[in-house]
Chain A
Amino acid sequence: MKGKIAVLAGGRSPEREVSLLSGHRVRNALLERGWDAVTIDPAESPLLESLSSGHFNGCYIALHGKEGEDGTVQRLLELVGVPYTGTRPFRCQIAFDKALGKEALAAAGVPTPPWAVVEARALRDLSAGHILRHVIDRVGLPVAVKPAQGGSAMGLSFVEREPDLPAAIMGALSFSDACIVERKVLGTEVTAGLLGNPPEALPLVEIVPKSGTYDYGSRYTTGATEYFAPARLESGVTQMSHSVALQAFLALHLKDVGRADIIVDQQGDPWVLEVNVSPGMTEMSLLPMAAQAAGLSLADLCERVLELALA
Chain B
Amino acid sequence: MTGSSIDPFVDLYARRTSGMTASEVRALFAVASRPEVISLAGGMPFVQALPTEDVLGVVEKVIAERGSLALQYGGGLGQISLREKLAGLMAEEGVSGVDPEQICVTVGGSQALDILGKIFVNAGDEIVVEAPSYVGALSAFSAYEPAYVPIRMDDNGMVVEELETALLRGVRPKFVYTIPNFQNPAGVTLSLSRREKLVSLCREAGVPIVEDNPYGMLRFEGESLPTLKSLDPQNVIYIGSLSKVFAAGIRIGWVNADSGVLQRFLPAKEAADLCTSNLTQLVAEEYLAGDRWRPNLAALVDIYRSRRDACVRALEDTFPADSSWTHPAGGFYVWVTLPDHFDSQRMLAAAVERRVAYVPGTAFYPDGRGRDQLRLAFCFPPDNDVTEGIRRLADLLADESAIYRSLQP
Contact = CB atoms under 8 A, between A and B. Distances in A.
Pairing of A with B: yes
Interface of A: 12-18, 43, 120, 123-124, 127-132, 152, 154-155, 165-167, 169-171, 173-175, 206, 208, 215-217, 219-229, 232, 283-284, 289
B22 interface: yes
Contacts of B352: 14
Given A217-B21, A217-B23, A123 B403 contact: yes
A84 B245 CA distance: 51
A223 B5 CA distance: 5
B321 interface: no
B6 A283 contact: yes
Contacts of A120: 399, 403
Contacts of A229: 3-4
B4 A216 contact: no
A40 B36 CA distance: 18
B346 A129 contact: no
B1 A228 contact: yes
B348 A129 contact: no
Contact of A208 (B3, B30, B31): B3
Query: Which 10 residue pairs across A and B have the least CB separation, nearest first?
Result: A223-B10, A222-B7, A220-B22, A226-B3, A166-B407, A221-B21, A228-B3, A174-B350, A223-B7, A171-B346
Interface string B360-376: 00000000000000000
B49 interface: no
Contact of A129 (B11, B353, B406): B406
A170 B350 CA distance: 10
A173 B403 contact: yes
A177 B7 CA distance: 36
A222 B403 contact: no
A174 B24 contact: no
B407 A123 contact: yes
A170 B343 contact: yes
A215 B3 CA distance: 19
A128 B406 contact: yes
A20 B205 CA distance: 52
A170 B346 contact: yes
B22 A219 contact: yes
B27 interface: yes
B350 A223 contact: no
A124 B346 contact: no
Given A14-B24, A165-B407, A175-B350, 8 more contacts: A43-B34, A43-B36, A124-B406, A127-B402, A226-B3, A227-B5, A283-B6, A284-B6
A124 B399 contact: yes
Among A129, A173, A174, which residue has the most Cβ atoms of chain B within 10 A?
Answer: A174
Nearest to A224: B21
A221 B39 CA distance: 26
B1 to A, nearest CB: 7
Nearest to B22: A220
B408 interface: yes
B93 interface: no
Contact of A127 (B6, B36, B406): B406
B347 interface: yes
Contacts of B22: 216-217, 219-221
Given A123-B407, A216-B22, A167 B27 contact: no
Interface residues of B, number: 39
B377 to A, nearest CB: 21
Given A216-B23, A216-B27, A174 B409 contact: no
16 contacts: A15-B27, A17-B27, A124-B399, A129-B406, A131-B406, A154-B27, A155-B349, A170-B400, A171-B346, A219-B22, A220-B22, A222-B7, A223-B7, A223-B10, A224-B21, A227-B6
Contacts of B73: none
Interface string B62-102: 00000000000000000000000000000000000000000
Given A18-B27, A132-B409, A155-B349, A227 B10 contact: no
Contacts of A175: 349-350, 353
A166 B27 contact: no
Given A154-B24, A229-B4, A173 B404 contact: no
A69 B353 CA distance: 17
B27 A14 contact: yes
A67 to B, nearest CB: 12
Contacts of A283: 6
Contact of A169 (B10, B347, B407): B407
A221 B10 CA distance: 10
A175 B3 CA distance: 32
A289 to B, nearest CB: 8
B28 interface: yes
Nearest to A118: B407
A262 to B, nearest CB: 17
Among B2, B13, B352, B406, which residue has the most Cβ atoms of chain A within 10 A?
Answer: B406
A232 B4 CA distance: 13
A283 B7 CA distance: 10
A302 B286 CA distance: 54
A174 B353 CA distance: 9
Contacts of B11: 223
A79 B22 CA distance: 37
A296 B6 CA distance: 17
Contacts of B408: 129, 166
B406 A222 contact: no
A155 B22 CA distance: 15
Contacts of B5: 222-227
B31 A222 contact: no
A284 B10 CA distance: 14
B392 to A, nearest CB: 14
Contacts of A128: 406
Nearest to A208: B3
B5 to A, nearest CB: 5
A132 to B, nearest CB: 7
A225 B21 CA distance: 12
Nearest to A66: B353
Nearest to A125: B402
A131 B31 CA distance: 33
A13 to B, nearest CB: 7
